[in-house]
Amino acid sequence: MLLRHLTSWVIYSLTLTSASAWVSGPIPGTQQSFDSGLFTPIESLARLSSTKFTTLAHPFFPQHSVRIKKSHFCDETVNAYTGYIDIQARHLFFYFFESRNDPATDDVIFWTNGGPGCSSSLGLFMELGPCRVSSNNTTVFHQESWNTNANVFFVDQPIGVGFSYADYGEYVSTSEEAAKDMAAFVAIFFEHFVQFKGRAFHMSGESYGGRYLPLFASAVYDQNVHLKKAGLTPINLKSAIIGNGMTDAFKMILSYYDMACTPASVNPVVDIGACVAMKATAQRCEKWMKASCQDQYDAISCGAAFAYCRTSIGMPFLATGLNVYDVSKPCKGEPSDLCYPQTRVIRNYLDNKWVRQLIGVDSTITSNFTSCNTEVQKAFLATQDMLHPTADYIASLLERGVRVLIYVGSYDWVCNHVGNERWTLALDWNGRAEFASQSLRDWIVDGKPAGKTRSAKGFTFATVTGAGHMVPFDKPKESLQLIQRWIAGKDL
Catalytic residue IDs = 207, 412, 469
* DSSP helix/strand/coil, 96: strand
**Cα distance between residue 10 and residue 160, in whole Å:** 18
Cβ pair 74, 52 in contact under 8 A: no
103: closest CA among 81, 122, 85, 131?
81
Q: Name the DSSP letter for residue 290.
A: I
CB 443 within 8 A of CB 435: no
Element (H, E) at 363: none
SS3 content of the chain, % helix, strand, coil (to 5): 40, 20, 40
Distances in Å between the Cα of 364 and the Cα atoms of 163, 167, 355, 378 are 10, 9, 15, 23
Nearest to 374 by CA among 430, 405, 335: 335
Residue 228 CB coordination number (10 Å): 11
Closest-CA residue to 128 (of 467, 490, 376, 489): 467
Distance of alpha carbon 248 from alpha carbon 267, whole angstroms: 25
Q: Are strands 165-166 and 151-155 parallel, antiparallel or unpaired?
A: unpaired
In sequence order, what are the residues at sequence separation of 6 or more whose Cβ sits closer than 8 angstroms to the Cβ of residue 223?
Answer: 183, 184, 187, 235
**In angstroms, rounded to a whole number, what is the distance separating the alpha carbons of residues 54 and 20?**
6
User: Comparing C-alpha atoms, which of 21, 29, 31 is closest to residue 230?
Assistant: 31
Bridge partner residues of 118 (DSSP): 372
How many CB atoms lie under 10 A from the CB of residue 97? 29
Under 8 Å between Cβ of 234 and 224: yes
